[in-house]
Structure 1
Amino acid sequence: MKKSWLVAVAAVLTGGVSAKTGRADAALSKPNIIIFFADDISAREFPSYGSSVWTAPDSSDTSDLNYRAKTPVLDRLAEDGCMIRTCWGATLCNPSRAMMMSGRYAHITKWWNNGDKGRGPDETGKVVYDWPVYVSSPLLLGHVAQKAGYGTYWSGKTQMSGREDLHGFDEGCFTPGKYMATDNPYTDFRHGLIEKDGKKILINADTGKPCESYYQNGWYWAPHVSLMNHPSAPGRQVWWPNTPEAQKKFGLHTFGPDVVLDFCFDFMERTHAEGKPFLIYHTSHLGHDAFNWLDPEHKQWPKSKWPNTPIVKWDGKKYTRIPPRITGDNGVYDTHGTITGAGIHNHVTYIDYQLWLYQQKLEQMGIADNTVIIVAADNGTSGYGKGNTDRQKGCHVPLFIYAPGMKKHGEQDVLANLTDIMPTVADLVGFDIPDDYEVNGKSLVPFLFTNKSEHRKWIYSYRGSEQLIRGKNVMKDGRGRWWDVSSEPDDLISFTEIKNWGRVGEVYREEHAMLQDMLPKFDLYFDEHGAPGVDDKPSPKNLKKYFRKEK
């Protein structure tokens, strides 16, 4: 960020600039930053976006208000801060998380899709599949904050390759996702593999019975949790609960997202006590579907992709959480009516509850007026958008931003991209990204803190070889179709397809030409699939997944 921007933002956040130096006081000029990054949740699942359709527990489309999330805290956050109407990520988790961390697209990171990443050298020089993003992109979210004097914390789902401690974070608390895949000694909510008749069969380790799912360790109830560099657990990989007191409290009632949040609070307190600002990168599992160990045969609730959460109730001013009570073993459990039914709407409501807890914590610490909160998700909802390149189903994600002193409030009908978060953080913390370091994102700070009416002219996404791009009026999806997006339909997706460019206005044709000119820069899937200098081609197996098979 240019130094003039640092002064401007600091003056807004702190109310003044040093009379002696012309710069905001260093201890006050750097705002704390909390990024809450949810998992697999489309913008349409959040009531603030006003969609007439959302997702039912069985992943079908619904307009049933019984399955509508309730988000009073986010609704207020969108008013006091702002809600970006159209934000894009990638269509799947891995490339979206690389976008968020690096501020770059896959033509640099080579994270084209889940299970389709370029080969490249790791930190030791060994050529590996899943080229670590910290090698291709040595300036990540955590790095820019660290270089600006911040304490940095990463919590929740990782899904990044290589060593977690090389991504720019001082400490971490992780639930399953490319981290410590070995058996956890504290819980058997995990899957295993046995061989029968020459075939590998997935089993539920809790019951020993075969099950239909994908291989996973539990991240919700009785979760698998590991710590990185916590004072009570020095080292890169330590299982939690790691103390007698924590082990005594751990059980079936323990909810993974609660554990993760508690460790975030712990880091916030310790870092603030040291006189340092903090960056919390909270990559929650909430929103992601999962095997339900509490109801493995779907006897207690309707069959659903999304396991239950603790019950929370909003009384108009505050949330109250019902303490879960769960008893049983070996796949037979009684929840005594203390947790919700299934469905993604309950996950979204629980996110709202956790954001309320963040607000209460910030008020308690006396730093609410100097903390920026950013809420987003990585890609579309499972069963609706996840992995889908039809229109913007897979890439349209929520984006809420609250920063004390910002000039933009309420709904903002502008375009944004998850790559924008890294340069936005760099601007907020006062780190100058070198001019020769390519960043595809664009900082939101000038838009948020001034009277600028526009942020971006276009946004971009991808899934493997499929490319998506849109402006204010037209959009190309991953299937090669063009759509009129000059107005938004009630369900956020039923746009009109453009089949004859002679029948649309000149402004549409000009934008169409501009977007087509942009695409070749990023269209390197076939020519530069892997790291520079590494012989790497897309696998035939991956090519079968995509709509676009060849150039």
Structure 2
Amino acid sequence: MPSSKLLGAIAAPAVLSMVCTGLVFAAQPGQAAPPAAPAGSKHDHRKAPRPNIVYVMADDLGWSDLGTGRTNGGHGNDFNETPVLDSLAEEGAVFDNAYASPQCAPTRSALLTGQYATRPTNNIYAVGGINNTTTSPLVGVPQGRADGAVNAVPTEFPTFAETLQDAGYSTGYAGKFHVAATAQEIVESHGFDESWGGGPWSHATVYHASGGTFNDTVAPELDKYAADYSQEYVDENIAPYSQGVSEEQVDALVGTPKHVTDAITDAAIDYIDRSKDKDKPFFTYLSQYAPHFPVANFQARTDLLAKYQAKTPAADPASPAYAALVEGIDQSVARVIDYLEETPDPRNHGRPLADNTLVIFTSDNGGETNQGSFNEPLRGRKSELYDGGVRIPWIVWSGNRDLVKPRSTNHTVINGVDLYPTLASYAGAKLPKRVPLDGIDLRPAFSKGRELDRDLFHHLPGYIRGGAEPGSTIRSGRWKLYYFYTDQRFELYDLQSDIGETDDVSERHPRLVRSLGTKLGAWLDRTSAPLATLRAGQPPVVIDGFTGLTYAEGRLARHRGDTITIEPGEEVPFVLPTR
């Protein structure tokens, strides 16, 4: 495929790089292309060594925030421009039923641990805890670690990165981490050889460096990449990927502070460059702070902001600052893909790195609509259990069709807990013994396009400020069932015919509610899910003549005409009537 750098270099006078449209980039001007496999060579992808892996996560990117419609059922954004991600979605595999948690910390902990939040070795449900209100009728459970680290996974639990390390991988982390008590834990306890910028912070309060350093919400290791933009840097890393931006606007970046999105990309590519010659595969986690709030004009890169301020909005909501942050992520991905396409692979002779690298792109939760994100036609936003809060774009790409089935759309319901067993499968790694991993191996879906049948669960035993109340959900096929603990209410939606969750059909399908509710109760029991408790001062909750199933205090119980009384301080149960 023509290199975006090559096309950008010949576009004049404005810098107008084109979208990459094939599977192989040409080399950039002045650089030799990777040697082709000799004619008649016995080399083929099936004999390639274990693959490299690059995992890219955006922060708060909504389901409908990408330009492509392939990741979101045809609901691509008509204001944001993401040409390279659109191209990867066209060339690779997309999953239009991909889910996360309603906020970033629980998603990131589930990724690392391969476990639902209900497990004691995860126990992270939201940012900052779920017991942050004193007026609610229920009291949320304490979350986090016993040492008081609310958003930190246990250091003694094996993460997927440690499993990859044990299998001989080099592992590097660039960007937001959030679920460690300190930046040092990332490399000391969570399986990464190196880390730049990550720590316990939920977001970067300022996106640009100042005087060659980022502020204290970004770990100082990233300062190595925080120097002001030079002419050489702009020519090499900004101009080739610019579309709809004048040469003058791009050159105006010279001498201005580095944007954290670019610095994280610099760190990731530098790590890949240093790792490729170690005669072992690499795993690189590139975790962007953008487009998380604060979303404001001064946070965006000036060339991209000017582009969107001059653009006429169409039907979808338009936020120039937000769109600029999103396109900055697209350019980051473009740089990584270019590097993989242009760099010979020492472990896979005659091939570029891309031919033996698995690339995954996704987001950590639904979009924050009051910051410029767009989730429609889904209902809800970040911090809610409805699909707008938890459904995310998910793209898988490789230059090797044995790693990823090209041009495929997969409707399998997937989740971040699936990453652990999936990466272990690609890496040929042994899963830790006596660890109850909750995810499934997605490799058959990634590489063969198989539709996998599984149920997906979420549980919130407390409150998210400005968002969800205590509830549990199950997504099973086309159906999504919600249970709300404050009033023992079920809601049921047919996502195939009602993707916006506007028509609650629970009363029309009582048998289906009982069937899915039984699965949900069994899952709560299987994972020993903690429940919110009735707040002191609240009147007891009494359920007379109850026949059905309950879950509380770590066990399932069946009732026939019983009276159930919940006193203040006791768990408010999951209650499923069977008649």
The TM tier, using the shorter chain, reads: 0.5 to 0.7
Q: Which residue of 2 aligns with 1:499?
A: 506
Is the aligned partner of 1:35 residue 2:44?
no
Distance 1:446 1:278 in 2: 22
Contact in 2 for aligned 1:85/1:413 (Cα 8 Å): yes
What residue ranges of structure 2 are gaps of 5+ in the alignment? 1-42, 130-141, 231-253, 312-317, 344-351, 371-379, 463-469, 534-569, 574-579
| 2:354 is the counterpart of 1:368 | yes
* Residue 471 to residue 242, structure 1, CA distance change in 2 (3 Å): closer
Amino acid aligned to 2:105: N
- Pick one of 101, 107, 113 that aligns with 1:90: 101
1:129 deviates by 3.2
The yes-or-no answer on 1:398 pairing with 2:393 is yes
Farther-moved stretch of structure 1 (252-261 vs 383-392): 383-392
Q: How many Å apart are 1:237 and its aligned residue?
A: 6.4
Compared with structure 1, are the counterparts of its residues 444 and 130 closer, same or farther at alpha carbon in structure 2 (3 Å cutoff)? same
Say if 1:410 and 1:221 are closer, same or farther in 2 by CA, change over 3 A.
Answer: farther
In 2, Cα distance between equivalents of 1:256 and 1:14: 39
What residue number does 1:262 align with?
266
Pairs aligned (count): 413
Q: Distance in 1 between matches of 2:358 and 2:215?
A: 27
The answer on 1:174 being equivalent to 2:197 is yes
Q: Secondary structure at the match of 1:83?
A: strand
Query: Aligned partners of 2:450, 2:381: CA distance in 1, in Å?
Result: 33
Distance change >3 Å, CA 251–CA 218, structure 1 → 2: farther
* Aligned equivalent of 1:156, options 167, 175, 178: 175
Counterpart-to-counterpart distance in 2, 1:497 and 1:437? 37
> Does the CA-based 8 Å contact 1:395-1:461 persist in structure 2?
no
Please give the TM-score of this superposition, normalised by the length of structure 1: 0.66
Query: Equivalent of 1:353, from 323, 328, 331?
Result: 331
Provide Cα deviations, 1:449-494, integer angstroms capped at 9, x if missing partner: 34633242334354744322211132123645423234155xx424
In 2, the alpha carbon distance for the partners of 1:171 and 1:342 equals 34
Aligned runs of 1:224-303 on 2, under 5 Å? 225=214, 238=220, 241=223, 246=227, 252-290=256-294, 292=296, 295=298
Candidates 113, 116, 120, aligned match of 2:126: 113
Residues 1:15 and 2:34 aligned together: no
- Structure exhibiting the larger radius of gyration computed from Cα positions: 2
Check the 8 A contact 2:117/2:459 in 1, yes or no: no
The equivalent of 1:218 in structure 2 is 206
- Output one character per residue of 1:419-440: Cα deviation in whole Å (capped at 9) or x when no partner: 1112111111111113521101
CA 1:493–1:462: 2 relative to 1, 3 Å:
farther
1:460–1:370 Cα change, 3 Å: same
One-letter amino acid of the structure 2 residue matched with residue 172 of structure 1: S
Per the TM alignment, residue 92 of structure 1 is displaced from its structure 2 partner at its CA by 0.7
Contact 2:455–2:474 (CA under 8 A) maintained in structure 1: no
RMSD (CA atoms): 3.8
In 2, Cα distance between the equivalents of 1:254 and 1:237?
A: 15
What is the Cα deviation at residue 154 of structure 1? 0.6
Note closer, same or farther for the CA distance 1:168–1:310 as it changes in structure 2 (3 Å cut).
Answer: farther
Partner of 2:418: 420
8 Å contact 1:462–1:468 — kept in the other structure?
no
Contact 1:241 1:247 in 2 (8 A): no
Percent sequence identity is 20
* Cα distance in structure 2, aligned partners of 1:215 and 1:106: 21
**Deviation at residue 31 of structure 1 after TM alignment:** 0.7
Is the CA contact (8 Å cut-off) linking 2:229 and 2:257 kept in structure 1? no
Cα shift at 1:241: 3.9
Instruction: Work out the CA distance in 2 between the residues paired with 1:506 and 1:525.
Output: 27
Give 3-state SS (helix, strand or coil) of 1:44's partner.
coil
Which one of the candidate residues 279, 300, 309 is aligned to 1:308? Answer: 300
1:446 to 438, 444, 447: 444
Separation in 1 of the partners of 2:60 and 2:497? 22
Seen in structure 2, the aligned counterparts of structure 1 residues 400 and 308 have a Cα distance that, compared at 3 Å, is same
Asked if the contact 1:152–1:278 (Cα under 8 Å) also holds between the matched residues in 2, the reply is yes
* Post-superposition offset of 1:225: 4.1
- The amino acid across from 2:503 in the alignment is T
Q: Which residue is 1:388 aligned to? A: 383
Task: Look up the equivalent residue of 1:309 and give its one-letter code.
Answer: R
CA shift in 2, pair 1:457/1:238, >3 Å: closer
Cα separation, partners in 2 of 1:240 and 1:472, compared to 1, 3 Å: closer
Question: Deviation of residue 289 (structure 1)?
Answer: 1.2
Alpha-carbon spacing, 1:273–1:52, altered in 2? closer, same or farther (3 Å):
closer
Within 5 Å, give how 1:66-81 maps onto structure 2: 68-81=79-92
- Measure the CA separation in 2 of the matches of 1:52 and 1:101: 31
1:270 and 1:508, CA in 2 relative to 1: closer, same or farther beyond 3 A? same
Cα pair distance change 1:45/1:341, threshold 3 Å: closer
Mark the CA change 1:273 to 1:390 in structure 2 (over 3 Å): closer, same or farther.
closer
Deviation of the 1:70 alpha carbon: 2.0
Q: Aligned partners of 1:408 and 1:336: how far apart in 2?
A: 36
* Change in CA separation of 1:351 and 1:241 when aligned onto 2, cut-off 3 Å: closer
Query: Does 1:473 pair with 2:473?
Result: no
State the distance in 2 between where 1:312 and 1:484 align.
40
| C-alpha contact (below 8 Å) 2:102/2:385 kept by paired residues | no
In the TM superposition, residue 515 of structure 1 has moved relative to its aligned partner by 3.6
Higher relative contact order (CA 8 A, sep 6+): 1
Paired residue type of 1:484: Y
Counterpart CA distance in 2 for 1:523 and 1:38 is 31
The answer on whether the counterparts of 1:416 and 1:459 sit within 8 Å (CA) in structure 2 is no
Cα distance in 1 for partners of 2:461, 2:73 equals 25
Partner of 2:138: none
1:368–1:488 CA distance, 2 compared to 1 (3 A):
farther
Aligned with residue 433 of structure 1, among 431, 435, 438: 431
In structure 1, stretches of 5+ residues that fail to align are: 1-12, 18-27, 55-62, 122-126, 180-213, 228-235, 296-306, 314-320, 323-334, 529-547
- The 1-side partners of 2:425 and 2:283 are apart by 13
Shift of the 119–369 alpha-carbon distance from structure 1 to 2, 3 Å rule, reads closer
CA offset digits 1:151-173 (Å, max 9, x no partner): 11111112122322221111111
**TM-score with structure 2 setting the length:** 0.63
Map Cα deviations across residues 192-216 of structure 1 (whole Å, 9 max, x no partner).
xxxxxxxxxxxxxxxxxxxxxx996
SS of aligned partner of 1:458:
strand
2:490 & 2:208 partners in 1: Cα distance?
39
Taking a change above 3 Å as real, the CA distance of residues 416 and 44 of structure 1, as seen in their structure-2 partners, is same
3-state DSSP of counterpart to 1:135: coil
